[in-house]
Structure 1
Amino acid sequence: MTSNLSPTTATPANTTLEKLESSPGFQKLQALTARGCAFLGTRYALLGGAMSWVSERNLVSAISNAGGFGVIACGAMAPERLREEIRATRALTDKPFGVNLITMHPDLDALIDVCAEEGIGHVVLAGGLPTGAMIGRVKKSGAKAIGFAPALPFAKRLVRQGIDAIVIEGSEAGGHVGPVSLNVLAQEILPEIKEVPVFVAGGLGRGEAILSYLERGAAGAQLGTLFAASEESIAHERFKKAFVRANARDAGVTTQLDERLPVIPVRGLGNEASRHFMRHQAQTLQRLEAGELALDAARLEIEHFWAGALRRAVIEGDVENGSVMAGQSVGMVKAVRPVAVIIQTLVAQAAAALEGRS
């Protein structure tokens, strides 16, 4: 999770960090993360997972300032709104950060252009497999393109299309998730994909776990749940407290009632909203069967439910009627901590594990 970049200017607050980075375990960790750090241009090969309503200027800049790689969640932003967020983030950090764009966004080309005009060096294409044209447009702008691969064939296809890096995200992650665990994805993909850096994500809450994937060939890791509950996160205090109270088994996954409504499973803390979603699915299905809704409209009804529910939880603090999206690593959130402490703890855990073997 580290690079050979020089530490920040020494201050009393940096004493612990300096001690960590002079340890033998840290030196070994540098070798494992050199490729990921070089790709991101950061001290640590740790990306912030892009989370709607959460991954904005404050959290993104905090992650980057702490040596990680913050990523703005564009979501449904209009191009000029994204430009505003990029500039606001840059006012808070002079370190590298990226932008996550949803491939189905109707203004995707314009959003890529905004990233280019604002000098964004890394664009994450999410919410579906990007096309070769999308990847090409990002690369033509001068940025590096990052994509998600849910299986080995898709990873190989992304490489053929020119992707610069891949994220493999297991079902342990929060929010919209696939059906396969990170452990299985890593066994399938890490030994086969060597052409580009591969970052792992999903259920990562300790440095030792991240280390296990680095030793199997991962370039670094992406985390979301731990950062969502950080001091710098703008999420409501009730949202953060729900994370602190939760354990891993509380982060369950919604299920799909009918194959005609291809619901992407959502992992979050069980509450009235998750139960309401099941009722909402059933009601939408009834309207579809009655001819009141076309299939495309029915699918939009499902997605719109989560869009509003997430805001209710994150911004308004309604953790019972809102969607409290969280990964299974939520059980390792024991307190609301500064981003820098979260990152340094992960690095220290990984370094200590390496040092303990000598």
Structure 2
Amino acid sequence: MNDSSKSKRDDARKALNQLWKPGCDFLGTEFAILGGAMSWVSERNLVSAISNAGGFGVIACGAMSPERLEEEIIATKALTKRPYGVNLITMHPELDKLVDVCLAHNVSHIVLAGGVPTGATIRRVRDGGARAIGFAPALALGRRLIKLGIEALVIEGSEAGGHVGPVSLNVLAQEILPHISEVPVFVAGGLGRGDAVLSYLEMGAAGAQLGTLFAASSESIAHDNFKNAFRRANARDAAVSVQLDERFPVIPVRGLTNAASRSFMKHQADMLNKFQNGEIEREKAQLEIEHFWAGALRKAVIEGDVENGSVMAGQSVGMVKEIKPVSEIMSVLVDQAVEALEKRETLFS
């Protein structure tokens, strides 16, 4: 690399650092890239790897008990000295105890997901010395959360894996980013390249959250079958679960189409027929539908049964071509953003 090329690269890197400085300052990281909180995947090994690579790892608490979460936090602290966070589901019956565990172990950031957190919970987090992050699927909710004391927002598009809303990141970004400047806003959903992240930074985002790329990393404890399913998949293979009847609502989940997803459709139809024939009460049928996926994610992630388990993945799965270390994934993302800035400078110089 000659002096001129090096100078352009340095200028592009400085420009990127300036663009995501609000996110880096908020997270305390080198790069404003968060790891998405994925049940069974976002545990000590992946979380510490993301943080050690300059990003921000996030433990997925999910249905953990306070004792189990404490064990995971202690194990994570032993693997990294850099900042990381914990994602808590607001509907968890022991939410207050989970918050207290995080605070007792000096977790710097708590992500409140899976519903709208109460002002009391947000105050509990902040009064305990942690930063509070929330999810905003719409502008109005984002503003409401800020009034309640949320210090940063994540806007996640329907391209993401797992439980998703109905609106794409492309639309959410246009709806929300121009109108919220009081707190850092991180974008998520379908992101697999650094130049795509750059485009949202230039719209006003403070950083980005990625899950699918990291789920297929070397440090991820996911079964090889799970990672290889990602590697073979195309974007269109990551489909959202379908609801057959409005009387039996289904929370949409994006994952790779397999035998389990086809069986879920049949299961819904069976429950619907039984209800219509008077063989089962509505509440019982709803419960049977909701319980279909119980244990299905663990079956895929840990046991490697990618046909009968739930292979949750975002549409960025089509960009997973090989299993790489987290540090390499992070480096590639940053290089792609820097190269995009370099090309632009060359184009207009």
**Structure 1 and Structure 2 fold alike (TM over 0.5):** yes
Q: CA contact under 8 A between 1:43 and 1:68: conserved in structure 2?
A: yes
1:88 counterpart (51, 75, 88): 75
Q: Does 1:220 align with 2:216?
A: no
AA in 2 matched with 1:157: R
Q: 5+ residue gaps in structure 2?
A: 1-5
1:310 counterpart (276, 279, 297): 297
Q: Does 1:284 align with 2:299?
A: no
What secondary structure is seen at the aligned counterpart in 2 of 1:215? Answer: helix
AA in 2 matched with 1:105: H
Inter-CA distance 59–357: structure 2 relative to 1 (3 Å threshold): same
Q: 1:252 — aligned with what?
A: 239
Q: 1:40 — aligned with what?
A: 27
TM-score (norm 1): 0.91
What secondary structure is seen at the aligned counterpart in 1 of 2:178? Answer: coil
Q: CA contact under 8 A between 2:9 and 2:338: conserved in structure 1?
A: no
Separation in 1 of the partners of 2:33 and 2:100? Answer: 26
Separation in 2 of the partners of 1:23 and 1:307? Answer: 50
Query: Within 5 A, what are the aligned runs for 1:197-276?
Result: 197-276=184-263
CA displacement at 1:294 relative to structure 2: 5.5
Count of residues in correspondence between the two structures: 339
Q: CA contact under 8 A between 1:57 and 1:86: conserved in structure 2?
A: yes
Q: 1:11 — aligned with what?
A: none
Q: 2:128 — aligned with what?
A: 141
CA displacement at 1:153 relative to structure 2: 0.8
Q: 1:123 — aligned with what?
A: 110
What secondary structure is seen at the aligned counterpart in 2 of 1:267? Answer: strand
What secondary structure is seen at the aligned counterpart in 2 of 1:142? Answer: coil
Inter-CA distance 154–88: structure 2 relative to 1 (3 Å threshold): same
Q: 1:109 — aligned with what?
A: 96
Q: CA contact under 8 A between 2:151 and 2:183: conserved in structure 1?
A: yes
Separation in 1 of the partners of 2:25 and 2:321? Answer: 32
Separation in 1 of the partners of 2:144 and 2:71? Answer: 34
What secondary structure is seen at the aligned counterpart in 2 of 1:356? Answer: helix
Inter-CA distance 167–132: structure 2 relative to 1 (3 Å threshold): same
Q: 1:16 — aligned with what?
A: none
CA displacement at 1:264 relative to structure 2: 1.4
AA in 2 matched with 1:53: W
Separation in 2 of the partners of 1:89 and 1:284? Answer: 43
Separation in 2 of the partners of 1:21 and 1:320? Answer: 48
TM-score (norm 2): 0.94
Q: 1:331 — aligned with what?
A: 318
Q: CA contact under 8 A between 1:20 and 1:26: conserved in structure 2?
A: no
2:62 counterpart (75, 89, 92): 75
Separation in 2 of the partners of 1:259 and 1:74? Answer: 30
Q: 1:171 — aligned with what?
A: 158
CA displacement at 1:138 relative to structure 2: 1.3
Greater shift, 177-186 or 121-130, is seen at: 121-130
What secondary structure is seen at the aligned counterpart in 2 of 1:222? Answer: strand
Separation in 1 of the partners of 2:25 and 2:111? Answer: 17
Query: Within 5 A, what are the aligned runs for 1:51-70?
Result: 51-70=38-57
C-alpha RMSD of matched pairs (Å): 1.7
Q: CA contact under 8 A between 2:9 and 2:342: conserved in structure 1?
A: no
Offset from partner CA, 1:245-292 (integer Å, 9 cap, x none): 011111111111222332111111100011111122233344555374
Q: 1:5 — aligned with what?
A: none
Q: 1:7 — aligned with what?
A: none
Separation in 2 of the partners of 1:299 and 1:126? Answer: 23
Q: CA contact under 8 A between 2:8 and 2:342: conserved in structure 1?
A: no
Inter-CA distance 190–121: structure 2 relative to 1 (3 Å threshold): same
Inter-CA distance 355–275: structure 2 relative to 1 (3 Å threshold): same
What secondary structure is seen at the aligned counterpart in 1 of 2:254? Answer: strand
AA in 2 matched with 1:205: G
AA in 1 matched with 2:270: Q
Separation in 2 of the partners of 1:317 and 1:122? Answer: 32
What secondary structure is seen at the aligned counterpart in 2 of 1:156? Answer: helix
2:119 counterpart (119, 122, 132): 132
AA in 2 matched with 1:71: V
Query: Within 5 A, what are the aligned runs for 1:146-161?
Result: 146-161=133-148
2:12 counterpart (20, 25, 48): 25
Q: 1:15 — aligned with what?
A: none
CA displacement at 1:23 relative to structure 2: 2.5
